[in-house]
Chains A and B, each alone.
Chain A
Amino acid sequence: MANVLINVPKTARRGEVIEIKAMILHPMETGFRPGTSGRIIPRNIIERFTATWNGTEVFSMAMSPAIAANPFVSFFAVARESGTIALRWTGDEGFAVEERVAITVA
C-alpha cells in the first residue's frame, strides 16, 4: 500500500471544470547519482501516470527522472457524470498503484 494523497472535490456541477491534485510517495531515483558506496544508484522512477473517469482516460503523463521525488501532479477535468476517478501510477521495478475516488456530479 503506497502512500497517496489525492485532492478531488466530492461534488461538482455538471460541466464544471474541476482541479485534481495527486501526490504519491516515491523516491524517483534518477540513476545518475552515486550512493554512499560510490556506485551509481540504479534508476527507479515512476514512468507513467494516468487518470481515468469512469473508464475513459482524461489525462496522462509520461515522467522522466527530472520529476521531483514524491511526484505531485495537478490537472483539470470537466465534470460530466457521477462515478469514480481512477488514478494509476506505473514505473520501474514493477511499481503499480491504483487509487479510486468517488465524485457526485449534480
Chain B
Amino acid sequence: MTACKLQRRTFLAGTALVTMLPAAASHATPEAMAAAIKEVVGNATVREGKVTLDVPPLIENGSTVPLTVSVESPMSEADHVKAIHVFNEKNPQPYVFDATLGPASGKAVVGTRIKLGDSQRIVAIAVTSKGEFWSGSADVIVTLAACLEEMT
C-alpha cells in the first residue's frame, strides 16, 4: 500500500514537472543561459557583485531596451576588466553581446540597446585581468515583446 502511494506521488511529481517545461522549445531557457555562461566561465567560480546593470525595470517595447553595464574596476595596467559578457534567459538565443575592454578604456562601462522577447532576467559577467569573474543581474518586465512579425 505504501509502495503504491509512493508511486502515485512520484507520478504526480513527474507530471507536474512535465507541465512546467516551456512549451516553445525554440526559445532559450534558464538552463541554456547557464550553459552559455559555463562556456565563458568554465569551472572558475563566479562571484556576485561589482557589476551593475542599468536597465528600466518595466519595458513597454522589447524591441529597443537601453542597457548599460558598469563594472567597478581601477582599469589600470595591473587590474582591469578584460571582457563583459551579457546573457538572457528567454530570447531565442541566450547571448546578447561580448565586449572586449582594456586599460585604454579608462572606465568599464558599456551601453547599448537590446531586444527582449519576454519578461526575464539579464545576467552580465565581467572577466578581470586577474582571472576573476564577477556577475550582476537585473530582472525586467516586458509588456510588448520583440521578435514579432514583420510590420506591413
Of B99, B106, B115, most buried by chain A (CB within 10 Å of CB) is: B106
A56-B84 Cα distance, complex, nearest whole Å: 20
Q: Is A76's CB under 8 angstroms from B107's CB?
A: yes
Given A41-B150, A72-B112, A73-B112, is A58 in contact with B96 using a C-beta cutoff of 8 Å? no
Q: Is A68's CB under 8 angstroms from B114's CB?
A: yes
Interface string of B87-113 (1 = CB under 8 A from A): 010011101111111111111011111
A64-B109 Cα distance, complex, nearest whole Å: 19
Give the interface of B toward A (CB within 8 A): 26, 63-65, 68, 88, 91-93, 95-107, 109-116, 146-150, 152
A75-B128 Cα distance, complex, nearest whole Å: 17
Q: Does A80 contact B (CB under 8 A)?
A: yes
Query: Could you tell me which residues of chain A, from 35 to 68, have a CB within 8 Å of some CB in chain B?
Result: 35-36, 41, 53, 56-68
Give the interface of A toward B (CB within 8 A): 17-18, 21, 28, 30, 32-36, 41, 53, 56-69, 71-78, 80
A56-B92 Cα distance, complex, nearest whole Å: 35
Given A36-B152, A71-B112, A73-B110, is A66 in contact with B88 using a C-beta cutoff of 8 Å? yes
